[in-house]
Amino acid sequence: MQQEDLKPFSIDVEPLRDAVRVCPSGELDLATVGILREQVEDLIATGFKRLVLDLGELTYFDSTGIHLVLGLIQSSQADGWELALLDGAAPVRRVFDVTGLRDVVPFVERRDASSGRVWR
């Protein structure tokens, strides 16, 4: 892939019925993970108690993304808010499969998250 073909990193935020959906796109790596972490922290600080992290638009996901997800799981359990993840494309799925974390991470079906239905 040539440099000009790369999609710049961005984050879309969409309020749902009883949650907020956060959808990063582009590459989630050392250079961008702090941006996503800050966005999530800001949403939780403003009062959102349920967050859906949608990984479907990521083109790259590495160990910094795994570290962020595990930290968010720990934070949600300690601080009383709920986190759910929507699966991503093959490169993202592969990271969770290879690391053996697929069963540890709270993945939900896309239809459950988009409807705002309770996922737990």
Model confidence over 13-53: pLDDT tens digits? 999 888 999 999 999 999 999 999 999 999 999 999 999 99
Higher-pLDDT residue of 73, 104 = 73
Report whether 57 contacts 24 (CB < 8 A). Answer: yes
pLDDT above 50 for 1: no
Report whether 26 contacts 59 (CB < 8 A). Answer: yes
pLDDT at 5: 60
Q: Give the tens place of pLDDT for each residue, 48-85.
A: 999 999 999 999 999 999 999 999 999 999 999 999 99
Alpha helices, DSSP H only, in the chain?
33-45, 63-79, 90-99, 110-115
Closest CA to 69 of 101, 44, 94: 101
Long-range contact set of residues 3-9: C-beta below 8 Å, sequence gap at least 24: 6/59, 7/59, 9/35
pLDDT above 70 for 120: no
SS3 83: strand
pLDDT at 24: 97
Tell me the longest C-alpha to C-alpha distance in the chain. 43
Architecture of the domain defined by 12-113: 2-Layer Sandwich (3.30)
pLDDT at 6: 66
pLDDT above 70 for 94: yes
72 burial class (0-12, 13-18, 19+ CB within 10 angstroms)? buried
pLDDT above 90 for 117: no
> In Å, how far are 15, 74, 81, 114, 117 from 57, measured between CA atoms?
17, 24, 24, 15, 22
